[in-house]
Amino acid sequence: MVEYVHTIVVGAGAVGLAIARRLAPQAGSLVVLEREDAIGTGTSSRNSEVIHAGMYYPAGTLKARSCVEGRRMLYAYCAERGIAHQRLGKLIVATEPAQRDALRQIAERAQANGLTTPDDTLQWLDAAQAQALEPALRCVAALWSPATGIVDTHGFMLACQGDMERTGGLLALCTGFVGARRDGTHWRVRTRGEEGEYELLCTHLVNAAGLQAQRVAARIEGLDKCHVPSALWLKGNYFSVSGVRPPFRHLVYPVPSSGGLGVHLTLDLGGQARFGPDTEVVDPAALAQDAPDYTVDPRRAEVFYAAIRTYWPDLPDGALQPAYSGIRPKLARGGPGLDANDFEISGPSRHGLPGLVQLFGIESPGITAALLLADQVACQLGLSQGPTDAWV
């Protein structure tokens, strides 16, 4: 007899665990498949750990809506569960007069996205006001985001795992997804663990595999390829500082560039600074072979020095050292009628396969949005009704 579980979630990153936490109480039985030997070893552990406010994303996109509401949910959840976090605030800086228009556009987008409460409305600062907050900062103008913060991402994932397990869910580490096909009214899922391959039957199957989402989707029989957007891996490198403690108490972001949010300054919960990420396109061969390279090339520091000194001119020579890198699972193209820069949640109403929900392109602000994305998955599976149903 093949064992039956109501719900299988593929991927134990921040989003996969948030989904498992959300679904477990209603599922009755739930298993999270994770091929690695620990939770959150991919994108979830290789990022800036920032709680984003939601001012960068085009109004109406899933990124914008899930970030703004997800941020409120995340702060509340962290407070409820005692997860380490700080609402530090962020300065988005124009370092030359021509960038003031970009700041105005960000402020307009923030308002369109719903950042209109006293807790999250962006504030315009002139150079003197910005330097009153950060004396070492060089800029001509800035936007102050009071809602931006940082979070212990691993603590968040552990809390989600704990909630999931308390309501009957199980985590299966060192267990990879091999394939799935419809078997009557259920999904027959093949997995591979330390003791070989075995099969499970389930009613609901959720693909939250992050970097591997497209690879998992390709192994689901009956899924039309048009519902699997092409993957684009972008590597982001981070550098730390040695020999000097950066004199900043808040996050500092430059005006966004075409490749991302620019080389920004973030702080961890211990007050240590790190700079990044930059943007480096991953060799398609590495993507095809499932072989991400997380090595940080020290020579990239030259570009970091130039970028950082536009807003921190006193950065000493020789202070930067390689820290770590992460890979963002962007989309090379969106699904039918979808934006390649947006999150994509593909459920039965889109691809026609009962009980299957897949998440693609869940990069930043995925951790901020995780709890709201979990609600969206529940909606797609018919487990929740409410105003968010129309989002996807």
The pTM of the full predicted model, rounded to 2 decimals, is 0.95
Type and span of the H or E element at 202:
strand 196-202
Query: Whose CA is closest to 365, among 162, 148, 172, 215?
Result: 148
Distance CA 95, CA 81 (A): 39
Task: Find out whether 103 and 256 touch, Cβ atoms under 8 Å.
Answer: no
Give the CA angle between residues 189, 192, 195 to the nearest 5°: 130
pLDDT digits (tens), the chain, 392 positions? 689 999 999 999 999 999 999 999 999 999 999 999 999 999 999 999 999 999 999 999 999 999 999 999 999 999 999 999 999 999 999 999 999 999 999 999 999 999 999 999 999 999 999 999 999 999 999 999 999 999 999 999 999 999 999 999 999 999 999 999 999 999 999 999 998 999 999 999 999 999 999 999 999 999 999 999 999 999 999 999 999 989 999 999 999 876 567 899 999 999 999 999 999 999 878 777 787 899 999 999 999 999 999 999 999 999 999 999 999 999 987 777 778 899 999 999 999 999 999 999 999 999 999 999 999 999 999 987 554 444 55
CB < 8 Å & 24+ apart, contacts of 115-123: 115/53, 115/54, 115/55, 115/68, 115/147, 119/146, 119/147, 120/53, 120/54, 120/68, 120/145, 120/146, 120/147, 121/146, 122/53, 122/55
Q: How far is CA 348 from the centre of its chain?
A: 23
What's the confidence (pLDDT) of residue 389?
Answer: 46
Task: Find out whether 59 and 377 touch, Cβ atoms under 8 Å.
Answer: no
What residues pair up with 237 in beta bridges, in sequence order? 325
User: Could you tell me whether strands 176-183 and 149-151 are parallel, antiparallel, or unpaired per DSSP bridges?
Assistant: unpaired
Query: Whose CA is closest to 210, among 381, 41, 38?
Result: 41
The answer for residues whose C-beta is within 8 angstroms of residue 375's C-beta and 6 or more apart is 22, 384, 386, 388
Distance CA 267, CA 50 (A): 9
Whole-number Cα distances in Å, 371 to 96, 105, 112, 390, 391: 38, 28, 22, 17, 15
What's the confidence (pLDDT) of residue 259?
Answer: 58
Task: Find out whether 219 and 177 touch, Cβ atoms under 8 Å.
Answer: yes
Residue ranges of domains in the chain, CATH in brackets: 3-47+154-230+335-391 (3.50.50.60), 89-147+231-331 (3.30.9.10)
Task: Find out whether 18 and 25 touch, Cβ atoms under 8 Å.
Answer: no
Type and span of the H or E element at 18:
helix 14-27
